[in-house]
Amino acid sequence: MTGIFMRGEGIMKIRQLEYFMHIANTLNITHAAERANVSQPALSRQLQLLEEELGAQLVERRSRGVALTPAGQRLEDHVRSLIQNVELIKEDIIATEAIPTGTLRISTAYSLRGLLIADVIAEFHRLYPQVSLEVQEGTSINVRESLVTHQVDLAIYSDHGASRGLIRQTLCSEALVLLAHAEAKLSMDKPVPASALASLDLVLTASPNGLRRVVDELLPPGQQAQNPPIIVETNSIIIDLVARGRLHSILPYSATHMAYKRGEISIAPIKGISWPWTMASSRDRPTTAAMRVFCELAFAYTHKRVESGEWKTAELPPVS
């Protein structure tokens, strides 16, 4: 960039701020010069000019690297805010374009990988290969947090929390199911009551987790103290453990879909429990063309899976 900021009779160049941020991020002049693709003396000279312009020392040199002074820390905060504002300007302009461009960052719950998300991502990339896609997975709590902190543009998760600052649309809701090994012969046609969970040997997701919170409410008081569950971070390991026999678990149907189709496990809906899935974005960020199209594809694939019966137990939201 070649822009400038005017301050009195001096000129503070954006390039100098970029160099300063390399220093702030590495706390090492040599590494910062490598990242900036300039010589170390040139970087040091630009830092000196910036300090003279601001009338403050920004870094302190130490035996190993450098440290930001209080003035340097304040400048770092201001520059990071400036960078965010520039990104918002860029996103706002891109949002007015009809054809998706730029980068689309998505975070999604683990459970939706096999039944929905992989197909939506593949189709989006086929249609719009010019868009750079960045996808991450996590628990619903982590997915929501990544959206609230502006790490991603879109999030798909099970929403049980406050929605302030978010634009939300319900994709569908589905049942939670009890998992057992294939020979246990649980049936999707025979829902089980929550009381059936008593005394089972369970493998469960870790806390804090929206699913775990619901499961804890289903279990009889004291069961986990008397018969502690195995705690596992990911659905894939949970399903593998259940398939080996003896252990049971509780997951949304979508998380079990692929293993159930392969005959690795048997499952049954748990009576009276509905699990919603939500597509969300941030209110204070513009909706880009890429976000809009990805949402349209996600809803289209959801409708297709539900209406075909492939997404068992799932129900679409009422048409408003």
What is the C-alpha separation between 237 and 102, in angstroms, rounded?
Answer: 35
In the three-class reduction of DSSP (H, G, I as helix; E, B as strand; rest coil), residue 10 is classed as strand
Distance of alpha carbon 90 from its chain centroid, rounded? 22
The residue whose two tokens read 């502006």 is 150
Alpha carbons within 13 angstroms on the beta-carbon side of residue 61 total: 5
pLDDT bracket for residue 10 (50, 70, 90):
very low
**Single-letter code of the amino acid located at 247:** L
Q: Which residue has the higher pLDDT, 225 or 4?
A: 225
Is 2's pLDDT higher than 50? no
The predicted structure's pLDDT at residue 84: 74
- What is the signed CA dihedral for 166, 170, 174, 176, rounded to 10 degrees? 10
What is the C-alpha separation between 99 and 131, in angstroms, rounded?
Answer: 10
* pLDDT digit string, tens, across residues 285-301: 888 999 999 999 999 99
pLDDT bracket for residue 12 (50, 70, 90):
low
The predicted structure's pLDDT at residue 125: 97
pLDDT bracket for residue 269 (50, 70, 90):
very high
Average pLDDT over residues 32-53: 90
Please state, rounded to an integer, the average pLDDT across all residues of the chain: 88
The predicted structure's pLDDT at residue 143: 94
Is 116's pLDDT higher than 70? yes
Percentage of the chain modeled with pLDDT above 70: 90
Contact between residue 155 and residue 146 where contact means Cβ atoms under 8 Å apart: yes
> Residue 225 contacts by C-beta under 8 Å, 6 or more apart in sequence?
none
Percentage of the chain modeled with pLDDT above 90: 60
pLDDT bracket for residue 217 (50, 70, 90):
confident
* pLDDT digit string, tens, across residues 160-198: 666 678 999 999 999 999 999 999 989 999 999 988 888
HEC profile for 259-283? HHHCCCEEEEEEEEEEEEEEEEEEC
Domains of the chain in start order, with CATH, are: 4-95 (1.10.10.10), 103-170+276-308 (3.40.190.10), 173-274 (3.40.190.10)
Contact between residue 283 and residue 148 where contact means Cβ atoms under 8 Å apart: no
Concatenate the DSSP letters of all residues of 17-56 into one string.
HHHHHHHHHHS-HHHHHHHHTS-HHHHHHHHHHHHHHHTS
The predicted structure's pLDDT at residue 6: 42
Average pLDDT over residues 123-148: 94
Average pLDDT over residues 39-55: 91
**Cβ atoms within 10 Å of 244's Cβ, excluding its own:** 9
Any alpha helices (H) in the chain, and if so which ranges? Answer: 14-26, 29-36, 40-54, 70-95, 118-127, 140-148, 210-218, 223-226, 235-243, 253-261, 289-308
